[in-house]
Amino acid sequence: MTNDALKIVAQRAPGFVPTVAVVLGSGWNTLTDYLERPVRIAYADLPGFPQAGVAGHGGELWLGSLGSHAVAVMSGRKHGYETGAVDAMHAPLQALQALGCRVLVQTNAAGSLRAGMPPHSLMLINDHINLPQRSPLVGQTGSQRFVDMMKAYDPVLLAQALKLAQEQGVSLHSGIYAWAFGPQFETPAEIRMLAQLGADAVGMSTVPETILARYLGMRVLALSMITNMGAGLSDEHLSHAHTLSQAAAASSGASELLAHIVGNLVFE
């Protein structure tokens, strides 16, 4: 399936060799507005790419340029809670790595566990907690599956992202992301537990893709858009509609910063 997807990309964008892959979560879709000479390919046309099944997630691969980099942007991802499988992003990430992508930049919408990080804040992920203890590498063979996760989120890229945000005058938090399987939101008791475990934000994605990217030898940078406080930390009524409305309100500024960061990363 990977080879079939590569052939289609080669037909639609001859000679295009991306070095950065980007996965867009809820609220980050306007990043594609910043692409130069964009080419769009529906996931339905790419064997092995998932059909987007969540409101707020597109189902297209965008190819274009941001700053000095050729990029491949996945508008939408498959979540573990949709089918129970956590390896649905393996084939598309493998295809992007085969195309030439050496860096994966991930984005998501998340709930905050810190009073000083309210909705519309942005957070760089510097580590994660795999709360379900599920792995997309189950079933793989060979020693490569024993992936070192010591520096899952690349420290050099993290430092660059913080500096680039400062140059833009944007406050960018840094913290630990907890992956909750979903699709239901967490209980107040679960939020208190996660806080005691050291988590700063919680969401229902990203961790499987990070594991897959590290398995494939890609460097990872990831950002969360805070759309709500965790259950019990405010009077907010949590729902997917609420998440999408909050994400839409912060989308423009978040995507502008993301475009600046991706376009100016140095990783040669």
Cβ atoms 190, 180 nearer than 8 A: yes
In sequence order, what are the residues at sequence separation of 6 or more whose Cβ sits closer than 8 angstroms to the Cβ of residue 223? Answer: 105, 106, 107, 108, 122, 123, 124, 125, 161, 172, 254, 258
pTM score of the predicted model: 0.94
| The predicted structure's pLDDT at residue 54 | 66
> For every one of its 268 residues, what pLDDT tens digit does the chain have, with 9 covering 90 and above?
688 999 999 999 999 999 999 999 988 999 999 999 999 999 999 999 988 766 655 799 999 999 999 999 999 999 999 999 999 999 999 999 999 999 999 999 999 999 999 999 999 999 999 999 999 999 999 999 999 999 999 999 999 999 999 999 999 999 999 999 999 999 999 999 999 999 999 999 999 999 999 999 999 999 999 999 999 998 877 887 878 787 777 788 999 999 999 999 999 7
Q: Which two tokens stand for residue 43?
A: 């996931």
Identify the DSSP state of 26: T
| The predicted structure's pLDDT at residue 241 | 82
Report helix angle 90-99 to 207-215, nearest 10.
Answer: 40
Rounded to an integer, what distance in angstroms lies between the CA atom of residue 84 and that of residue 145?
20
Q: Which domains does the chain have, with CATH numbers?
A: 2-264 (3.40.50.1580)
| The predicted structure's pLDDT at residue 56 | 56
Strand partners, 106: 23, 222
| The predicted structure's pLDDT at residue 249 | 74
pLDDT in tens, 239-265: 878 787 877 777 889 999 999 999 999
In sequence order, what are the residues at sequence separation of 6 or more whose Cβ sits closer than 8 angstroms to the Cβ of residue 169? Answer: none
Cα dihedral 128, 110, 157, 48, rounded to 10, equals 90
